[in-house]
Amino acid sequence: MPKTVYIGMTADIIHPGLINIINEGAKHGDVIIGLLTDKAIACYKRLPYLTYEQRAEVVSHIKGVAKVVPQEEWSYVPNLRRLKPDYIIHGDDWQHNYLSSIRSEVYEAMKEWGGQVIEIPYTKGIDSSALVDNARTIGTTPSIRLSTLRRLIAAKPVVRIMETHSGLSGLIVEHAQVMKEDGLHQFDGMWSSSLTDSTDKGKPDIEAVDLTTRMQSLTDILECTTKPIIYDGDTGGIPEHFVFTVRTLERNGVSAVIIEDKKGLKKNSLLGTAVKQELATAEEFCAKIAAGKRAQVTSDFMIIARIEELIAGRSVDEALEKAYACVQAGADGIMIHSKEKSGMDIKEFCQRFKRAYPTVPLVLVPTTYNQFTEKELASWGANVVIYANHMLRAAYPAMVKCAETILQAERSLEVNDLCMPIKNILELIPGTK
């Protein structure tokens, strides 16, 4: 009986280093590729460009590969204990990088049945991170970007979305990352906010900035980033206008639109003064959602219903009743909004909604109840967390301070420490290095 060799990989980008490992494995026996699933990868690294099925199709046709099996966890150990291979082969770079703890676990597991760990020299001249950066420079396609949000929701405990209002803010969100003990933390996508887009243009957030005008800012972001975008569609306008919005956004590769159940001229939910806003009935709102669903071409695009009952002072029961109706009308997700700082009304809504619809995505915007972490919100049932206006709110005071300091000093020397070197900004922009 031939011996078996286990090799774990992502295989999003096939390069000579992967081929070298497979060739080495074939010298020792039948090569089993443990191909990491989206879920195994997404909490530790960026989501692969290719789906699991696409990657499996490619890898299964590489010479020397006998079998491809899913690796459902970041750790190799569960698959190793299940398959009990004679060998596992890995590049020796894991001795010193972020996989060093997994390396120790693998050695201990392989001892249980007398298996052997073979480490081969890391292929010189191959830098996976550089390959990913090059891919970002090339960009993405509307169809790939469009489908990514659904993949992220399926793969991650909570999807992290940050507001962007310009190409530069989009680049910051695209590249921002922090390495923590549980893996790489980065933003999974972007929120094209009606509030911040209109404010950036110096206009009130009353739905006065139409889709055609907003598409200018959206195009700036789309052209220099690759991550999925959720579009703030305000009320969506009349159903005929919303149909046009859906088709335009879908064609441009936007992953989702969120529309709210308000009627008449929009008044922003975050205004501190008492603002009366008439809400659409469930029948009116559901008719608009259904019209949008009929208009879309792909199954990847998402229409998410924003429920404003709690903002309007109504009960959780009333909010749930409308949310259930929206799901029945075809909504792909529900966003629940509240100004209550305790967040307890949101928590109750989430828990009760998930009991009724456990697989329908829930979107939260914890601007007022921001004392809760993403893990806590996920424990309530949240699938997506949107940081809805923080990029613009952070930029404004910095710009005001810079302007006032120059006026006070009558020169710019005093603002040197407030300003990033222009070289660092230019390095964010593809094609300027």
Catalytic residues: 205
SS3 of the chain: helix, strand, coil, percent, to 5: 45, 20, 40
Q: Shortest CA distance to 89 belongs to which of 61, 57, 65, 53?
A: 65
- CA 221 – CA 172 distance, rounded (Å): 11
- CA 241 – CA 134 distance, rounded (Å): 39
Q: What is the DSSP code (8-state) at residue 250?
A: H
Tokens read off for 411: 């020169």
Residue 27 vs residues 98, 118, 121: alpha-carbon distances, Å: 28, 12, 16
Exposed (0-12), middle (13-18) or buried (19+): which is 224, by Cβ within 10 Å?
A: buried
Give the dihedral sign, CA 219/233/338/270: positive
Query: Which 3 state secondary structure label does DSSP give 161?
Result: strand
Q: How many residues does the chain have?
A: 433
Query: What values do phi and psi take at 197, rounded to 5?
Result: -70, -45
Tokens read off for 111: 């001892």
Strand segments, DSSP code E, in 129-232 are 159-164, 177-180, 183-186, 189-192, 229-232
Give the dihedral sign, CA 161/165/169/175: positive
**What number of other Cβ atoms are within 10 A of residue 404's Cβ?**
11
Tokens read off for 412: 């710019």
Give the dihedral sign, CA 108/110/116/118: negative
Q: Shortest CA distance to 150 belongs to which of 188, 181, 114?
A: 188
What is the CA angle 71-74-77, rounded to 5?
Answer: 70
